[in-house]
Amino acid sequence: MFTVKKTEMINKTFRLPANLVERLSAVAQEQGVSMNNLVAQCCEYALGQMPEDKHSKGATKSKP
């Protein structure tokens, strides 16, 4: 049976260098995804590549 899944989202504001935003925008457009989706994927990937001892205490590693 088909079940619609909804991920809880939270609005946050981040300041990023203009050249990084331009690069992210270009990649998002090329890949056909939103910038929000791309940034979330980039963050998940970066956190997943960190050694376990570098993670903040109490933070949980989310699985995609």
* Residue 4, pLDDT score: 87
- Exposure string of 8-45, with b = 16+ CB inside 10 Å and e = fewer, is eeeeeeeeeeeeeeeeeeeebeeeeeeeeebbeeeeee
pLDDT band for 59, please (50, 70, 90 cuts): low
* Residue 57, pLDDT score: 52
Q: What is the pTM of this model?
A: 0.71
Instruction: Name every residue whose Cβ is closer than 8 Å to that of residue 25 and which is 6 or more positions away in sequence.
Output: 35
| Pick from 6-10, 18-22, 49-53, 56-60: least confident | 56-60
pLDDT, one tens digit per residue, over 13-53 is 999 999 999 999 999 999 999 999 999 999 999 999 999 87
